[in-house]
Amino acid sequence: MKKFNDLKQFDQTLLLYDKYEKSHPALISNKVLTQALKASTHLLDKNRSLTIAKKISLSSMNDTYLLASLIHMFIQFHQIHEAEKVFQQSKIHSQTMFLTMIKGYLKHEMIEQAFDLFEKIINPNEILLIQIFNTCAKLENQKALNCGRKFFEQMPIEYEKHQFLMNSAFNMFIKCGDSTFAERIFKKIPRFCIGYGRLMKIFNLEKQPEKTIDLYEQMKHDKIKPDRIIYLLLINACAQIGLKSICQRIVDEIPKDLLFDHPIQTSLIHMWGKSGSILKAEALFEKFFQPDAITYNSMINAYGLNGMVDKALELFHRMSKDIRDNYTFVCILNSCSHTGRVDQARRIFNEIPLKTQQIYTVMVDCLCRASLLEEAQQLIIQSELMNSPWLPMYMALLSSIRHQRDQDLAEKIVQRMTKIFPEAEKELISASVLLSNVYAMTGQLEKAETLRTNLIQLGKKKEIGLTWTELNGKIWKFRAHDKSHPQSSQIYEELDRISKELIDYGHEFHSNFITRSISSHETIQSVLCGHSEKLAIAFHFIQSTRPSHIQITKNLRICEDCHAATKLIARIRQCEIIVRDASRIHHFDLNGNCSCQDYF
């Protein structure tokens, strides 16, 4: 019977079973019942299967092979509760029974029950682990990730030689967004182009573009030829870093035939715009005979990021109304927002036929930057008459309130956000940090410190400020008050020299730019001079050749002190400085002016 089943000759299995049952009814063993049950289930013969199942006695409840077949049968005929009964009545649960029951739960979309069953599994074998990892990969949430991590960390080290298992674990961590574990596994499995791409994608999503570029270098070392997807991911990483030299190096390595690929070209326009290389973005754009919406949007956005609102508006009006989409309006309104063109923004906004929440949000941001807070709040109310509340609108409003130092309004907005967006933990942390900043800026340092302490006690962390720069082909990353750099002592010595020069030119370090308490060993000057962007700038000035051009990228918005100081540094040291923050690109020229005209 087993041989017939292995050959998928299930009719022959049942014919043999029928003969055996007639001739030796008292000798029907569990093995015979198991094979008969498998055959009838495969043939989807429900009546036959149930008839065979009735012959299974209570004394058979320790035969895990038979029970696994019985569970499988009930699952196949959509009798999941009967399958559960069999599983629960069994005194012994084999790996096969667990696997069969889990597959049944998944087939019937009973996810919670499958996870409850995971908790009962001890020392799963490779096959069961693959099923667990595949299940977690499908869910792509924190609960699945925690479950997958637990089983992976408990897995015997010899299982790491099982490639199917390791690939399943890699896939799970990629899907659940855990680059740390995915990277660990990637180092232990055979390298292939798709695997590189998947890891690059998660690095980009997690805002770790330097790791994507490092992975590309590893790919070259492993002599694996990049494909079109790899280059698109690399271009995306370069756009995130926004450093011209890195961008140019990657572009020089893209095969010539791919440079004519439409998605590659459009991505390159976006990348050059994000790196402040507007002329290169324009040159690419002009090559398009009939630009589509994505290409137009990329160029309009590039102009907006670099403060060239007139060119953005010109291109917007040149664009056919038929191909404008939601993102087109977002890009042009954003351009107006970052240059204070409120009237143009109002006109465009009023002409938009279908206003999405994203479009409302950009218009709210535009009004907030112009300190038109009442009008911004009215626009939020107008939006919520037609749409559900949207968190980014409140974040735009709150960010502006911070600059206005309006404590009462900031408290009201944070309270409303907490009420209507209780699940938005990350954004609520950001909101609490902004409120803390308002307290600090209005001299209420105790309130600010209490709020920050509460966040720490709850295990909630604000986003860390980071600055990237490039020197001699290497990307360097700095944090505020960072002393991990090998040239740290020289960097801080240079910062002292820069500080003295700034003071000589009339710069004042104000305490109202500091959003935390100052410890006994600190001064206002030392706190402000320890910001990550200032460390990156000082790093360039300690090199053997004094730079005439510096470019840095910051993941947060530049503070007022750093902006004022960088204008003076560019003038004093006669060095062009480009700073891209989370909001826009600042071009500081040799005369000490910024392209944003101090509107940021």
pLDDT in tens, 472-512: 889 999 998 889 999 999 999 999 999 999 999 998 887 66
513 versus 233: the higher-pLDDT residue is 233
Q: How many domains does the chain have?
A: 3
Mean pLDDT to the nearest integer, 261-284: 96
Measured CA to CA, the distance from residue 222 to residue 491 in angstroms comes to 36
Helices (H), 306-372: 309-318, 326-337, 342-351, 357-369
Residue 9 lies in a domain: yes
Q: Is the pLDDT of residue 572 over 80?
A: yes
Measured CA to CA, the distance from residue 541 to residue 550 in angstroms comes to 9
Question: Is the same domain home to 11 and 38?
Answer: yes
Q: Which domain holds residue 444?
A: 355-462
The tens digit of pLDDT for each residue in 98-156 reads 888 888 888 888 888 888 888 888 889 999 999 899 989 988 888 889 999 999 999 99
Question: Is the same domain home to 415 and 485?
Answer: no
Residue 247 lies in a domain: no
Question: Is the same domain home to 448 and 514?
Answer: no
Among the ranges given (101-115, 377-391, 484-498, 572-586), the one the predictor scored with the smallest mean pLDDT? 101-115
pLDDT at position 70: 78
Question: Is the same domain home to 162 and 60?
Answer: yes
595 versus 527: the higher-pLDDT residue is 595
pLDDT at position 442: 81
**Strand 585-588 relative to strand 576-580, pairing:** antiparallel
Mean pLDDT to the nearest integer, 233-241: 96
Question: Is the same domain home to 38 and 118?
Answer: yes
Question: Is the same domain home to 42 and 137?
Answer: yes
Which of 137, 172, 207 is the C-terminal boundary of a domain? 172
pLDDT at position 42: 73
Which of 419, 440, 462 is the C-terminal boundary of a domain? 462
Measured CA to CA, the distance from residue 113 to residue 228 in angstroms comes to 42
Q: What is the DSSP letter of 307?
A: T
Question: Is the same domain home to 406 and 540?
Answer: no
The CATH number given to whatever domain includes residue 116 is 1.25.40.10
pLDDT at position 328: 97
Which tokens is 584 given?
């826009």
Q: Is the pLDDT of residue 12 over 70?
A: yes
Residue 16 lies in a domain: yes
Mean pLDDT to the nearest integer, 562-583: 95
Which of 419, 436, 462 is the C-terminal boundary of a domain? 462
The tens digit of pLDDT for each residue in 289-343 reads 889 999 999 999 999 999 999 999 999 999 999 999 999 999 999 999 999 999 9
Helices (H), 44-121: 46-54, 64-76, 80-89, 95-107, 111-118
Calculate the average pLDDT of the chain.
88
Q: Is the pLDDT of residue 46 over 80?
A: no
The CATH number given to whatever domain includes residue 423 is 1.25.40
Among the ranges given (41-45, 191-195, 404-408), the one the predictor scored with the smallest mean pLDDT? 41-45
Measured CA to CA, the distance from residue 534 to residue 268 in angstroms comes to 29
pLDDT at position 110: 86
Residue 306 lies in a domain: no
Residue 375 lies in a domain: yes
Residue 327 lies in a domain: no
Which tokens is 2 given?
């087993």
Question: Is the same domain home to 430 and 557?
Answer: no
Question: Is the same domain home to 17 and 96?
Answer: yes
Confidence label for 232 from pLDDT (cuts 50, 70 and 90): very high
SS3 496: helix
Across-strand partners of 469? 476, 552
Q: Is the pLDDT of residue 4 over 70?
A: no
Q: Which residue has the tokens 């030796």?
A: 24
479 versus 520: the higher-pLDDT residue is 479
Q: Is the pLDDT of residue 59 over 80?
A: no
Confidence label for 38 from pLDDT (cuts 50, 70 and 90): confident
Residue 539 lies in a domain: yes
Which amino acid, 524? I
Question: Is the same domain home to 392 and 458?
Answer: yes
Question: Is the same domain home to 548 and 561?
Answer: yes
Question: Is the same domain home to 68 and 154?
Answer: yes
